Structure 1
C-alpha cells in the first residue's frame, strides 16, 4: 500500500508539473515579446501551484513511509536536490514577481528566472531519474539528463498547444503538426510516467515502521486531491485569450 501511495504522488507530479516545467523551458521560443510571454505564462497560471502540492506530498510520503530510502537518495544526490530546490524557488519567484514589478527591464529579468528555474528543475529531476534508473556516473551521466530535459520540454510544448491560441498555438504545436494536440500531450505524459515507473522499480522500496499508521490518512486525502485537480482542469479548460494575474 505504501508503495502505491508513493507512486501515485510521484508519478502524478511528473505528469502534471512536468507540463508547467516544460512551458517555462520553452518560454523564449513561444513568447517572442513581453506581452506574448505573459500570455504563455497565463497558460500555466491556474495550475502550477496545485501541481507543486504533488511534489510536497511526495516528499512527505517519502520521509514518513520510506525514511531509509529518503536518507539514501539525499546522501547520494545532495547536489541535485539542492539544485532542484534552488530552481524551484527561482522559477516561482519569477512567476510571482513578473506581474508585480512591471518595468520592462524587470520583466526581462523575471522571464529569465522562469526559464532558468524551469531548466534547473528539468535537469535536476532528469539527473535524479538517470542516477536511480541507470546508475551512471561521470560525463556519460549527462546523456539521460539531456533526454529527460528534452522530454520535459516536449511535454510543455504539448500542454501549451492545448492551452494557447493563434500564433502561439501554432508555435507550440510543432510536435503535433497543428493537430492531435491531446494525443501528443497524452504520449509525453505517458513517457514521463514510464520513466518514473522504471526508476521506481530499481529503488529499495522497504517501508518504515510508521507507514501502516500513516497510510489511512494519506489514502483519505488522495480522492480530495484528485477532485481538486479535476475541478481546476475543468474550470480552466478553455484556451487562454489574454494575460493572467502573473
Structure 2
C-alpha cells in the first residue's frame, strides 16, 4: 500500500504540474506580447499552487514511509534537487511578482524568471528521472535523456495550453503537434509522464527501503484518509475552471 501511495502522489504531480511547467517553458512562444503572455499565464493561474501540493505530499510520503530511500535519492541527486528547488522558487516568484508593478521592464524581468525557472524545473526532473531509469548515466547520453524528459514536459504544456486558450493563442499551442483534438494530445502526454513515473518507481528498491511496520501502521491510514480530500479539491478546481481562458487573471 505504501508503494501505491508514493506512486499516486508522484504521478499526480508529474501529470498535473507538468502542464504548468511546460506552459512556463514555452511562454515566449505562446505569448508574443505582454498582454498575450498574461493571458497564457492565466491558463495555469488557478492550478499551479494546487499542483505543487502533490509534490509536497510526495516528499512527505517519501520521508515518512521510505526514509532510507529518501536519503539515497537526495544524496545521489544533490545538485539536481538543489536546482529543482531553486527553479521552483524563481518560477513562482515570477508568477506572483510580474503583475505587481505596472512597467514593461518589470514584467519582462519576471516573465524571464518564469521561463528560466520552468526550464530549470523540467531539466532537473529530467536529470533525476533519467538517472533512475538508466543507471549509470553520464556524458552525452545523460544530457540527451535529460533534454528528452524536458521536451515531454514542454509538449504536455502545449497540449494543456491548447485546452485552455482561445483564438490565435490556441492555434499557436496546437500548431507544433498538429493536433486536431487537444484532449487526445493531453491524454497521450499525461500517459507518457505517468509511464515515466511508473518506470522510475519500478527501478527503485521501494519494498526493501520501506519504514518499519509500526511507522507504516501509524502513517498509512492517516494518508489514506486525506487522499479523498485532495482528489475532491483538485476535481473541484478543474470543474470550476473547465472553460477556456476569457481574459487576464490576478497574476
The alpha carbon displacement at 1:174 in A equals 1.6
1:218 counterpart = 2:219: no
The alpha carbon displacement at 1:182 in A equals 0.2
Match of 1:207 among 187, 206, 210: 210
The alpha carbon displacement at 1:213 in A equals 1.2
The alpha carbon displacement at 1:212 in A equals 2.4
Q: Provide the residue aligned with 2:245 in structure 1.
A: 240
1:139 counterpart = 2:140: yes
> SS of 1:44's equivalent?
coil
- In the TM superposition, 1:146-165 aligns within 5 A as 146-165=147-166
For residues 102 and 73 of structure 1, the distance between their equivalents in structure 2, rounded to whole angstroms, comes to: 43
User: Is contact 2:179–2:185 with CA below 8 Å preserved after alignment?
Assistant: no
Moved more, 40-49 or 139-148: 139-148
Structural RMSD (CA) = 0.8
Q: Provide the residue aligned with 1:180 in structure 2.
A: 181
For residues 247 and 130 of structure 2, the distance between their equivalents in structure 1, rounded to whole angstroms, comes to: 38
For residues 176 and 227 of structure 1, the distance between their equivalents in structure 2, rounded to whole angstroms, comes to: 32
For residues 4 and 243 of structure 1, the distance between their equivalents in structure 2, rounded to whole angstroms, comes to: 39
For residues 67 and 106 of structure 2, the distance between their equivalents in structure 1, rounded to whole angstroms, comes to: 42
For residues 113 and 243 of structure 1, the distance between their equivalents in structure 2, rounded to whole angstroms, comes to: 19
The alpha carbon displacement at 1:175 in A equals 4.3
User: Is contact 1:170–1:178 with CA below 8 Å preserved after alignment?
Assistant: no
For residues 125 and 90 of structure 1, the distance between their equivalents in structure 2, rounded to whole angstroms, comes to: 16
Give CA-to-partner distance per residue, 1:25-44, whole Å, 9 cap, x none: 00000000000000000000
Give CA-to-partner distance per residue, 1:73-114, whole Å, 9 cap, x none: 011000000000000000000000011122110100000000
The alpha carbon displacement at 1:203 in A equals 0.2
> Normalising to structure 1: TM-score of the pair?
0.98
1:66 counterpart = 2:71: no
> SS of 2:40's equivalent?
helix
Q: Provide the residue aligned with 2:42 in structure 1.
A: 42
> Normalising to structure 2: TM-score of the pair?
0.96
What are structure 1's unaligned runs of at least 5 residues? Answer: none
Structure 1 residue runs of 4 or more that deviate by more than 6 Å after TM superposition = none
The alpha carbon displacement at 1:116 in A equals 0.4
Q: Provide the residue aligned with 1:120 in structure 2.
A: 120
> SS of 2:32's equivalent?
coil
What are structure 2's unaligned runs of at least 5 residues? Answer: none
Give CA-to-partner distance per residue, 1:134-159, whole Å, 9 cap, x none: 01123321111010011000000000
For residues 212 and 151 of structure 1, the distance between their equivalents in structure 2, rounded to whole angstroms, comes to: 37
Give CA-to-partner distance per residue, 1:14-62, whole Å, 9 cap, x none: 0000000000000000000000000000000000000000000000000
For residues 62 and 100 of structure 1, the distance between their equivalents in structure 2, rounded to whole angstroms, comes to: 36
